[in-house]
């Protein structure tokens, strides 16, 4: 009975964890869950230990490597990558492209494009990672053109929402509001209205620019107050609530998301404060 309850607890924990686009599910449920938790808690030492464990699968080893990369620890990423001695030619090429993206994301993106016909999870998460770098380096026009070309490819059918989120940010930064209605039309409003939807906060900004403050205010006020909002909800909570105590409980990746979103908000609306 105790084992059954423990299993249910673990399964429930896994369902409650925010979906991480760069984690590939594996047969070793507990190891993959450990990687997710280590990323969320910013435990890079634990991720390094997992990588160095010779008994874990290649998928989980790469999951841990990408987790360190997404925690912005590029030195540890490089060091741990060197410890994987049996990378195949395609994997080696992908990591070379990732390294290039840290310096020249435009060139890196062009190099990953010929690989898109291969249904490989490593390619999916690499494209999303480089797209984020293009956004950070303000290559908006290039990013818009490329993502509009590739986002409907079969390889991205389970990750299109993440590309649409990046594309939406690029359009907003470029102050091109008209194309955004086509993106939002692809998702039922009931989904976008959920504060944990990847497009929720961005839709609110679009409303502000298109329909005005009052409409945006009403949209954000539909958000449910929680003590620890998830990463896609944290920015909506920040501008909706005067009480910012929940930020003290936020994890590194959530704070990173908040800063990125508020940078966009500040660019378009000019004031970092609650809408009310």
Closest CA to 261 of 195, 190, 175, 169: 169
> Of 10-14, 65-69, 268-272, where does the model show the most confidence?
65-69
Question: What pLDDT, in 10s, does the model give residues 58-109?
Answer: 999 999 999 999 999 999 999 999 988 788 899 999 999 999 999 999 999 9
The answer for residues whose C-beta is within 8 angstroms of residue 126's C-beta and 6 or more apart is 94, 97, 98, 112
Mean pLDDT confidence for 245-250: 87
Per the model's pLDDT, the better-predicted residue between 102 and 225 turns out to be 102
- What pLDDT shows up at residue 166? 97
pTM summary value: 0.92
Residues across the chain: 276
Backbone angles phi, psi at 84, to 5 degrees: -95, 100
Q: Give the pLDDT band (50/70/90) at residue 6.
A: low
Count of other CB atoms within 10 angstroms of residue 65:
26
Q: DSSP per residue over 87-142, as a string? A: --HHHHHHHHHHHHHTT-HHHHHHHHGGGTTS--HHHHHHHHHHHHHHHHTT-HHH
- What pLDDT shows up at residue 243? 72
The answer for residues whose C-beta is within 8 angstroms of residue 114's C-beta and 6 or more apart is none
What residues does each domain of the chain span?
Answer: 192-276
Q: Which two tokens stand for residue 206?
A: 């679009």
Mean pLDDT confidence for 161-188: 95
């Amino acid at each position: 009975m105790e084992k059954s309850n423990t299993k249910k607890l673990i399964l429930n924990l896994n369902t409650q964890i925010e979906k991480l686009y760069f984690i590939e599910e594996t047969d070793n449920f507990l190891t993959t869950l450990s990687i997710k938790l280590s990323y969320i808690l910013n435990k890079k030492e634990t991720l390094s230990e997992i990588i160095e464990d010779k008994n874990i699968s290649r998928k989980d080893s790469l999951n841990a490597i990408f987790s360190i990369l997404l925690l912005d620890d590029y030195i540890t990423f490089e060091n741990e990558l060197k410890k994987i001695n049996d990378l195949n030619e395609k994997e080696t090429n992908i990591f070379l492209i990732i390294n290039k993206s840290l310096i020249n994301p435009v060139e890196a993106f062009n190099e990953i494009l010929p690989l898109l016909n291969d249904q490989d999870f490593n390619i999916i998460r690499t494209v999303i990672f480089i797209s984020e770098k293009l956004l950070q380096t303000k290559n908006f026009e290039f990013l818009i053109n490329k993502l509009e070309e590739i986002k409907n490819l079969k390889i991205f059918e389970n990750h299109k929402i993440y590309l649409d989120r990046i594309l939406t940010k690029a359009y907003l930064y470029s102050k091109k509001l008209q194309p955004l209605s086509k993106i939002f039309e692809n998702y039922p409003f009931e989904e976008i209205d959920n504060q944990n939807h990847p497009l929720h906060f961005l839709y609110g900004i679009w409303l502000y620019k298109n329909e005005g403050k009052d409409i945006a205010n009403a949209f954000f006020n539909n958000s449910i107050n929680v003590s620890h909002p998830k990463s896609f909800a944290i920015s909506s909570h920040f501008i909706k609530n005067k009480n910012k105590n929940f930020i003290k409980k936020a994890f590194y990746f959530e704070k990173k998301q908040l800063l990125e979103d508020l940078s966009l908000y500040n660019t378009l609306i000019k004031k970092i404060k609650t809408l009310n």
